[in-house]
């Protein structure tokens, strides 16, 4: 049996955990909107046409914020097409996903859905085919109380009160040649500066995110972040990161090690942002928004990305997740929490059907994919401050990443109640792990409130419509709390959650 030790002290804190890291992403792509969150005529449909079963699962998932409407779709989108009477809305060709967009779901429908789902909207403005004019008008439509053209237009559409959208993204993946009207870093940085300026003139209370690199492997990575922030540093609050973990070689050890790439990515981008601040001798710190991240590698061929004939809402990149994918998602969440001092928002891409934790059948049921469970665990229990841990663990060898720690872990503590939760991933695929946690100043008056594990000997097992709970959490009866020390046995290739609360 492997052994691992953690030392946790109440006085050593990384940062308060921003609940916005438990966000997701809804794009007009495939069946994420149509057949996903919106399906008039479905047996569970609300009067607005929203799937109630998906709404219920979204609440269970614990989503706090959702980015909309894209994604690559954004760079060719006219927000005006998706407001007003539905019978007057134009049907457009979507060049991003080679689909036909009916615009029957748009800004106001999304806001109404967010309110029903009890979460915050995150909007993005088109920096592909449009620019500052569109951005200021869209913001005025959403947030200005009334008495102007666009705010009164919103009121005429039945929404007298402002939407009050506070989190905005300036474009999407503008460094990518696949993007409609992609930009160089100099072009994008200058545009982001001007868009940020006019948007904060319209509403100085908003927060803005500039586009970072589409992925760490981009040839312009690093240079892009520096040059963009060097121009729009004063206007923006965040820079974005996009990160997808892959298992192309079908090697579980290499796959589990890709989690560490995200940690390197976060630390590198934070350093670049701080270099821009240092050049200005500025105390301002640009925070990070990981507004696209997930596991994605199986449904990634040409047919998964585009269907012939400009169809409406065709099935696209409908990744079927297995147990090993869930482990990697859990590990990425641990990395995000351990970087709580800089990562202040995150969006699992996407919410439904399109590489989503929720899968649906059009006209039929909805079910939880395997990756649903670690996300729901973290959203449910990740409240308070992230502690700075000392972790002692063995390693395993990998070709691409060298020696990799067997144990990934974080502890989040609520300073008001003293309640704390340990999230732990045993990356060994062969051995149980005897874990010992020294809780210094943490355990007084606490008892174990819950102990669960996501474990299956079959790494390839999936959840399906016929077997929706094939991979799901079960109790871990080995957890003990005695004399300020928490102990437990962690199964190999397992995701673990142990919660402590007042007795």
Which residues have a catalytic role annotated? 173, 292
List the structure tokens of 483.
Answer: 């004399």
| Side-chain-facing half-sphere of 183: CA atoms under 13 Å | 27
Q: Which of 168, 80, 152, 164 is nearest to 114 (CA)?
A: 164
Distance between CA atoms of residues 198 and 20, nearest Å = 25
Radius of gyration of the chain (CA): 23
**Paired tokens of 315:** 């099935």
Cα angle: 230, vertex 231, 236; to 5 degrees: 95
According to DSSP, the residues that pair with 293 across neighbouring strands are 243, 348
Residue 477 structure tokens: 């009866």
DSSP lists the bridge partners of residue 451 as 498
Measured distance CA(463)–CA(484) in Å, rounded: 38
What residues contact residue 221 under an 8 Å CB cut-off, 6+ apart? Answer: 213, 215
What are φ and ψ of residue 137, in 5° steps?
Answer: -70, -40
The kind and range of the H/E element at 5 are strand 2-9
* 328 neighbors 295 (Cβ within 8 angstroms): yes
413 bridge partner residues = 385, 420
Q: Is 100 exposed, middle or buried (0-12, 13-18, 19+ CB in 10 A)?
A: middle
- What DSSP assignment string belongs to 168-190? EEE-S-TT-TTSTT---HHHHHH
> Residue 351's closest CA among 62, 138, 105, 155?
62
CB 35 within 8 A of CB 360: yes
Which residues lie across from 392 on neighbouring strands? Answer: 5
């Amino acid at each position: 049996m492997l052994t691992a030790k953690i030392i946790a002290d109440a006085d050593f804190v990384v940062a308060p955990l921003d609940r916005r890291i438990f966000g997701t992403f809804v794009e007009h792509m495939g069946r994420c909107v149509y057949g996903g969150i919106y399906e008039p005529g479905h047996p569970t449909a609300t009067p607005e046409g929203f799937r109630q079963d998906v709404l219920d699962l979204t609440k269970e998932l614990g989503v706090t914020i959702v980015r909309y409407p894209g994604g690559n779709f954004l760079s060719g989108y006219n927000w005006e097409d998706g407001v007003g009477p539905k019978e007057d809305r134009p049907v457009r060709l979507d060049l991003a996903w080679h689909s036909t967009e009916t615009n029957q779901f748009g800004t106001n429908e999304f806001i109404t859905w967010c309110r029903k789902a009890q979460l915050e909207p995150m909007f993005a403005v088109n920096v592909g085919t449009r620019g500052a004019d569109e951005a200021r008008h869209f913001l005025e439509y959403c947030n200005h109380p009334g008495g102007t053209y666009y705010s009164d237009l919103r009121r005429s559409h039945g929404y007298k009160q402002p939407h009050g959208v506070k989190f905005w993204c300036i474009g999407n993946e503008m460094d990518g040649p696949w993007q409609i009207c992609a930009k160089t870093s100099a072009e994008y940085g200058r545009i982001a500066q001007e868009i940020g300026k006019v948007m904060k003139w319209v509403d100085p209370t908003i927060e803005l995110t500039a586009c970072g690199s589409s992925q760490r492997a981009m040839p312009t990575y690093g240079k892009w972040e520096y040059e963009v922030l060097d121009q729009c540093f004063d206007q923006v609050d965040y820079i974005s990161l996009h990160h997808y973990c892959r298992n192309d070689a079908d090697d579980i050890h290499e796959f589990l090690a890709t989690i560490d790439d995200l940690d390197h990515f976060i630390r590198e981008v934070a350093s670049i942002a701080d270099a821009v601040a240092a050049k200005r001798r500025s105390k301002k710190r640009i925070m990070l928004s990981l507004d696209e991240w997930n596991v994605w590698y199986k449904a990634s061929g040409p047919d998964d990305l585009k269907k012939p004939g400009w169809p409406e809402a065709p099935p696209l990149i409908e990744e079927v997740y297995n147990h090993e994918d869930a482990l990697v998602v859990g590990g990425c969440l641990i990395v995000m929490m351990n970087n709580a001092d800089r990562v202040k928002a995150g969006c699992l891409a996407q919410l439904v059907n399109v590489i989503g934790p929720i899968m649906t059948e059009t006209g039929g049921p909805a079910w939880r994919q395997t990756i649903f469970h670690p996300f729901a665990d973290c959203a449910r229990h990740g409240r308070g401050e992230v502690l700075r841990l000392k972790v002692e663990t063995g390693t395993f060898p990998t070709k691409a990443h060298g020696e990799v720690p067997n144990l990934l872990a974080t502890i989040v503590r609520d300073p008001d109640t003293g309640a704390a939760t340990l999230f732990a991933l045993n990356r060994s695929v062969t051995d149980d792990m005897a874990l010992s946690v020294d809780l210094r100043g943490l355990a007084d008056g606490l008892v174990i409130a819950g102990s669960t594990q996501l474990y299956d000997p079959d790494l390839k097992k999936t959840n399906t419509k016929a077997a929706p709970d094939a991979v799901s959490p079960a109790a871990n009866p080995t957890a003990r709390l005695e004399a300020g020390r928490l102990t437990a046995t962690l199964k190999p290739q397992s995701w673990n959650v142990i919660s402590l609360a007042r007795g």
